[in-house]
Amino acid sequence: MSEIVRAESLWRIYKLDEVEVPALQGVHLSVEKGDFSAIVGPSGSGKSTLLHLLGCLDRPTKGKVIFAGEDVSKAGDARLTNIRARRVGFVFQTFNLMPTLSAKDNVA
């Protein structure tokens, strides 16, 4: 099997005014094509933060995300959007549905 996504020394520090919240501190991870993986941990341990980075929704403060062989750590919004549109599927913790659209149109 070949690797689809890799995290290298991944840090994500959220900045709230003067306060810094280090949600991820040096995470290493590799997922092979065809793998089924679960990330488990207590609330606030950084699961969603990690998934947002692995899924090209967010960029790390430090470290790298390699998605299908491409370093996307510093990719621009247009590139990240393109990868997400073609290669990533999300089921969000909050559903992010558009209330004015039908269920079918939301899926589309």
Ligand X SMILES: Nc1ncnc2c1ncn2[C@@H]1O[C@H](COP(=O)(O)OP(=O)(O)OP(=O)(O)O)[C@@H](O)[C@H]1O
Which positions lie near ligand X, rule CB under 6 A? 14, 16, 21, 23, 41, 43-49, 93
Paired strand residues for 83: none
Nearest alpha carbon to residue 63 among 6, 4, 15: 6
| Alpha-carbon gap, residue 17 to 108, rounded angstroms | 38
For Mg ion (CB under 5 A), the number of binding residues is 2
Nearer of residues 49 and 73 to Mg ion, judged by Cβ: 49
Residues 5-44 that bind Mg ion (CB under 5 A): none
Which one of Mg ion, ligand X, none is in contact with 1 (Cβ closer than 5 to 8 A by kind)? none
Name the minimum Å distance from CB 107 to ligand X: 24
Which one of Mg ion, ligand X, none is in contact with 21 (Cβ closer than 5 to 8 A by kind)? ligand X
**Contact footprint for Mg ion (CB under 5 A):** 47-48
